[in-house]
Structure 1
């Protein structure tokens, strides 16, 4: 039975159509922020070493107040220039992309806003179809009615994959530049903003030219979208790519594998460093006796806490380095 347009039932349905997408739950993954990787701290709270999560990713959570303005604007210029002005969807661009993709029966174009991208990375991976895109649009509208723009942007910057198993902008800054976010230059911020589009293809260590090309494109967009002075942009574009050494030496290799999660240890990191040098010096005096390794443990007599621990002189040595010469182990956990 087809109801005439004048009936109350039809009018009620017409009224509910724009409301229906706003009803229902948000993706469960959005409710729980990504977990941080494990960090081992010394007795004074200084980081000794860290290890990845079970999915091999490393992540440091960050608040929006800790993210520099340069990085926020570079991300907006790269991904969603109208983020603070739209309701979660760029309707014109989405309609154009949906029409093009439907007519060609496969995905050839996209117009995802930051809100839509956040929905995408917070839901199970599925084949890209027009139906999947429509679902993302509905969830993006729903999210925009429940979260503030700052909440959405914070979640986005914390969940992005920057490549090399680094999740979130804070961990990406640490890995690529060995810097806290606050110390990033304009060029470094633009480089980080470039990576999430294609983390593998744009990884600066394997494909520096592609990474620099997109970095410079984003820098140019900052002039166009946010009125950055062209002189400042040209200086940033001339900045060479200077990446930090990705390898970091673990000062407590014989201890760290005893922990599956973060902890604060009784180790004194400065004493650990000095005693490692002392151990090497003492062993060098025994070269003629073919002594290759030695162990060293420093214990605080009053408390029994371990202040320094070396199971061998060189953990990375292929000649017995991983072996632990201090088998009478007492936990270094405070």
Structure 2
């Protein structure tokens, strides 16, 4: 028979009793054939006795039943099977854990690689520049305020007391100097402490991680951000030393209240530079970063002090503070510095920021601006204004005020833009435009003397009418012929209007503008009574030209600007508007305005020993009250009113503003040698002739002008202020144009 072609399947089946009959090999191994055979381990337990689907038992039968064991051997085999089974499950578990661990490592590596890819390339990473700070200093170098996004300058760790940076290490990252940027030990410790609530609660993030977050990342709480935070922390640790990292942290961390960095926080909460903080204050700052809003000492002092106590305990534990120092700090906990009146120096700082671009342009590093402001005088001005409003404001229905004081050259010594900066940041000294009332009259009288008149020129105090307008005096009384000196001192409206008509309203406007008034002025008849709106700063600057002998004044507050490296970026040079008043005319103006303190509306503001000059002003319905006066060394103006234009209860330039002015000037001039008013002596009135001659008649006036040595007797004109206060309501024209 022909042999069938194709694949032939091998057949290992051998009939019993015929093993090897065909020369076939038995490929199955018995227990004895294995290494260590006969140990009682069954093939079923190892799986090694199973060949070709047949069990080792069948193989044993093929060899003559060698696989049969005794009863004792069978029991041992079953115990071995159970032990092997247990070892098999343990091995599988270990194997599974190892495999899962490897996959976890691979997955984590992939996750890290992915999030790392979302960051800029490492070789392109750099610490972002800190926004520049503008430190605004008083004339004596003390800090008035900080401006900029950070609220304080950058400080070096070397200029800080050692316990200040240590406070942050103790409470935020006690292993800071030993870890590599991330701290697994610290994380485990923090978890344990937070779970058991034992010791000082800590977070898992290191200072380096916190810095990485502040520099590069958002504040969102996600796993992705934490991974990137760890990557960046490792990069920071590689690139910078520990002290450099700590210095960066101290200058970037947020302390609340707009303060970024330890210098800003020390100034904000304690009113002193970071280099001068005490141990108790350092502990409070160290504890503050955990929750700036909740722990701010000016908002929640008990919580801030409790947190500071925890910081002190941690510092003592780590040896950063001695037990004695800690005891003293705990006995005298830090308290925030109080700011009287809402911090009026901020009005000065705002003015500096308004003009700074004109001096230095764009800058990218910290700068220091030295101002002309005297901090002592600033405090005096704030106290004088706020105290008077607190005492009399409700009674007179006046809620706001402003004060500007400057040297006759224009250097601002104090500036108060409102009653309370914390309540209102609007600067009424520089930005509020209000009618000046009779405080505008000196420009009218200056135009008159420049047209040939003198302080002794006589004009008629009598009703006057211009078209349909008939302005009246405040007292509704007319005294006939009167000198310009007396008319200005007594603030007679009819004489001012007549003079304005004689020289022309345009001339009055031009005269005011020549002295530095920049606000638009209406050249009409009522300009003589101050109906065009101006700012207090403009008016004080214009009066400065009279006080200094006739040189035009540009009010200024910035004296010097320096960069972080000490380089001078700007220094004010002597400048001004040049001569704007001839000495003769200036002397006459000083003599006439001096009479206001001798026999006029500001008589109660006189300061013994000083030659003073000035002018009061009150507008329609008593909406605005002004007084601007000066010595030979200081020019000061005061405004009172309400922001919404609501009428006051008869506040005039001669009452509350005069009182504020005298309170401030008496203190500001104290200890100084009196300075004479320039060019005035020739036109000064002899003391025995200071009484008003308004109602003496033409003969007495002529006798005085042409040298009659008789002293005129006092006349009823001196009683006019009392009659004015008794008057209940102003008339229509007083309401319309304002008088004083």
TM-score (norm 2): 0.34
Tell me the residue number matched to 1:308.
412
Give the superposition deviation at 1:299. Answer: 3.7
The 5 A counterparts of 1:77-92 are 77-92=170-185
Tell me the residue number matched to 2:547.
none
Tell me the residue number matched to 1:104.
none
Secondary structure at the aligned position of 2:355 is classed as coil
Partners of 1:275 and 1:210 lie apart in 2 by 35
Tell me the residue number matched to 1:269.
374
Give the superposition deviation at 1:190. Answer: 0.6
Tell me the residue number matched to 1:298.
407
Tell me the residue number matched to 2:130.
33
The 5 A counterparts of 1:6-155 are 24-25=122-123, 28=126, 30-36=127-133, 38-42=134-138, 45-47=141-143, 49-53=144-148, 55=149, 57-94=150-187, 110-125=203-218, 127-155=220-248
1:113/1:240 CA distance change after superposition, 3 Å: closer
Cα deviations across residues 161-210 of structure 1 (Å, max 9, x unaligned)?
11111111112111211222232221111111000000011111222222
Tell me the residue number matched to 1:250.
345
1:326/1:136 CA distance change after superposition, 3 Å: closer
Partners of 2:380 and 2:291 lie apart in 1 by 44
Cα deviations across residues 234-264 of structure 1 (Å, max 9, x unaligned)?
2211213422014432286494463356674
TM-score (norm 1): 0.71
Partners of 1:117 and 1:26 lie apart in 2 by 21
Tell me the residue number matched to 1:225.
318
Give the superposition deviation at 1:120. Answer: 0.7
What runs of 5+ residues in structure 2 fail to find an aligned partner?
1-105, 192-201, 358-366, 386-395, 433-534, 542-553, 559-571, 573-740
Kept in 1, the 8 Å contact 2:160–2:274? The answer is yes
Give the superposition deviation at 1:117. Answer: 0.5
* 1:325 pairs with one of 536, 559, 572: 536
State the structure with more CA Rg: 2
Kept in 1, the 8 Å contact 2:171–2:311? The answer is yes
Partners of 1:178 and 1:151 lie apart in 2 by 26
- 153-162 or 134-143: which moved more? 134-143
Kept in 2, the 8 Å contact 1:161–1:199? The answer is yes
RMSD in angstroms over aligned alpha carbons?
Answer: 4.0
Aligned length: 287
Tell me the residue number matched to 2:487.
none
Moved segments of 4+, more than 6 Å: 95-98
Give the superposition deviation at 1:295. Answer: 5.7
What runs of 5+ residues in structure 1 fail to find an aligned partner?
1-12, 99-108, 281-289, 301-305
Give the superposition deviation at 1:325. Answer: 2.2
1:51/1:259 CA distance change after superposition, 3 Å: farther
Kept in 1, the 8 Å contact 2:250–2:261? The answer is yes
Secondary structure at the aligned position of 2:269 is classed as helix
